[in-house]
Structure 1
Amino acid sequence: MSEHTAEISAYWDAAAAAFDEEPDHGLRDGRTRAAWAARLLPWVGTREHGGGLDVLDVGCGTGSLSLLLAGAGHRVTGVDLAPRMVEQARAKLRDAGLPARFLAGDAARPPTDAARFDAVVCRHLLWTLPDPAAALREWVARLRPGGRLVLVEGRWREAGEQGVPYVTGAASLPWHGGVTAVELSAAVRPLVSALRIEPLSGEAELWGGPVDDERYALVAEV
């Protein structure tokens, strides 16, 4: 799908204006925001002797998770393919008076040069990638020893199945419509020293209401 990069970027640019209207995207409701903070921050972890971590938020969208991380004192770098998403993320952190760095670029190969991170966070991105296995290897390579990979994923119906097309060739993506916890665990396990799955389908406060599909977090250590 690399030949469709411009189309993919345009799709998410067009979605940027309304993106935060989804409860789990914008985290505008205090209960939803608190639910995500209560989950996300322990997944990422803390330094043994205090202080913030260097966190890479890949596919950061409008920066809602980056906002939670920066608010907890972490040093955040966000990457997204869509420039308008990145613009909104920068504005969101600026309006909150919180520092963060946001880059427009391919989240599967983050343009962060030789930088290494204590944690890499990714939410609901893998289904959009032409080579998710390569992206996973890339993200793990960006981690320092002892670092954590946090993947919030699920298996759901992709928008195109509901009459709204994603992009040309989307149906041929390896994880079109999402990825099960079993599949993702099998892909990640050879790259890390330990991993666990935390089911999230039953936690309606995370999603702004009940969901009936598979949603989970995979938390791995290298």
Structure 2
Amino acid sequence: MTDSAAIRTYWDAAADGFDTEPDHGLRQEATRAAWATCLSSWIPKTAADLLDVGCGTGSLSCLLAGAGHRVTGVDLAPRMVDRARAKLAAAGLPGSFLVGDAMDPPTGEATFDVVLSRHLVWTLPNPAAALREWVARLRPGGTLILVEGRWRQAGQFAPYVPGAESLPWNGGVSAQDLTDTVRPLVAGLRLEHLSHRPQLWGGPVTDERYALIAHL
């Protein structure tokens, strides 16, 4: 099994360089605009209460707050959360960011119109339980958005932390496997394949990348 302290340490150490990846930092205008377009097509147009689980340095949270949504971000790594807070503050945008485990976000009894997670479920020791927890945080008619994939490096390199090879979805999760897990929890869902959209990633990719958009 993975150790949560080791995972926290890993992502804390990654925080300084995290935004250098085009799809993490969204520093290029074309990449930022591509993500803004996707988010606006997945999320209700009216202002929503939104939980960004595994928010990292807050790049998607920043886009969403800029679009008028009320954002709460959660990440296990304190240094990621620090950067998310600083990013929204620098942009003059409101947002609440909490340090906590994505398996059980520390948001108390709060519920949300939207729960969003990007590139996170592969890191979780029990992703099915996390998905049930996230769905439970949604209001009636709410939306669950999962941006995921099956990464090209899966199985090619040593585990990123000790024990990661035992994770159920180490290296990513296929659209079919994620669909099979989410479908019993929701009223309906759809897939949007994203591998063919290089502007989202800062260049072409050859692995499987997609968004799953589900509704209660």
TM above 0.5: yes
The residue type paired with residue 58 of structure 2 is G
2:129 corresponds to: 134
2:56: which partner in 1? 61
Pairing 1:204–2:203 present: no
Deviation of residue 46 (structure 1)?
Answer: 2.4
Describe how 1:33-182 pairs up with structure 2 within 5 A. 33-47=32-46, 52-158=47-153, 161-163=156-158, 165-182=159-176
Q: CA deviation at 1:159?
A: 7.2
TM-score by structure 2 length?
A: 0.97
Q: Counterpart amino acid of 1:61?
A: G
1:146 shift after superposition? 0.5
Q: Tell me the residue number matched to 1:220.
A: 214
Identity %: 69
Aligned pairs, number:
216
- SS of 1:73 mapped into structure 2: coil
Q: Is the 8 A contact 2:125 2:168 kept in 1?
A: yes
2:23 is aligned to 24
Contact 1:55 1:74 in 2 (8 A): yes
- Write the distance in 1 (CA, Å) between the matches of 2:136 and 2:98: 19
Whichever residue aligns with residue 110 of structure 2, its letter is A
Closer, same or farther: CA 44–70 of 1 in aligned 2, 3 Å: same
- Retained in 2: the 8 A contact 1:157–1:178? no
* Alpha carbons of structure 1 residues 37 and 24: separation in structure 2 relative to 1, 3 Å: same
Distance 1:137 1:18 in 2: 32
Counterpart AA for 1:26: G
Contact 1:13–1:83 under 8 Å retained in 2: yes
> Structure 2: which 5+ runs fail to align?
none
| CA-CA distance at 1:143 after TM superposition | 0.1
Counterparts of 1:2-17 in structure 2 under 5 Å? 4-17=3-16
Q: Which amino acid aligns with 2:26?
A: L
1:177 maps to a residue whose letter is: G
Normalised by the size of structure 1, how large is the TM-score?
0.95
Q: CA deviation at 1:168?
A: 1.0
Between the aligned partners of 1:159 and 1:197, the Cα distance in structure 2 is: 22
Change (3 A) 1:108 1:24: same
Q: Find the aligned partners of 2:105 and 2:153 in 1 and give their Cα distance.
A: 24
Task: Kindly provide the amino acid, as one letter, of the partner of residue 106 in structure 1.
Answer: D
* Cα distance between partner residues in 2 of 1:17 and 1:41: 28
Cα deviation for residue 124 of structure 1 reads 0.2
